Amino acid sequence: MRKAAVVRLTDEQRDDLTRRLEREALTGRRRRRLQVLLAADQEQTDAQIAAATGAAPSTVERLRKRFAREGLEAALADRATAAALRPSWTANRRL
C-alpha cells in the first residue's frame, strides 16, 4: 500500500479553512476540497475521508499530493485543463 502524502495545516490555515466553510457561499467542488484538507489534517485515511465527504478516493489522494507539492492555495484552486487551454473551433472560424 502506498503511503499517502501528509497534510499538515498550520493553526492559521486550519482556522481559515474552517471560517471559509462556515461563512462563504461555496461551490460543491470547493467545499469538498476544504473538507478533504481538514480531514486529512486530522490524520484520517483516504477511505475515511472519501466516505465522509463523498469524494472519490483518487480525488482525495490527488488533493493530498497537490497540497504537499504546491501548497494550500494551489490545492484549493481549479486547474486549467488541456481542453480549456485549446482554442475553440468557433474562435478559429472565419466569418
When divided into structural domains, the chain yields a total of 1
Classify residue 4: in a domain, yes or no.
no
Classify residue 45: in a domain, yes or no.
yes
Range of the domain at 44: 11-85
pLDDT band at 3 (very low <50, low <70, confident <90, very high): low
Residue 2: per-residue pLDDT: 58
Classify residue 92: in a domain, yes or no.
no
In this structure, are residues 52 and 35 in contact, taking their beta carbons and an 8 Å threshold?
yes
Classify residue 62: in a domain, yes or no.
yes
Classify residue 91: in a domain, yes or no.
no
Cell numbers at 8, concatenated: 499538515
Classify residue 15: in a domain, yes or no.
yes
Classify residue 73: in a domain, yes or no.
yes
Classify residue 6: in a domain, yes or no.
no
* 5-64 per-position pLDDT tens digit: 899 999 999 999 999 999 888 888 999 999 999 999 999 999 999 999 999 999 999 999
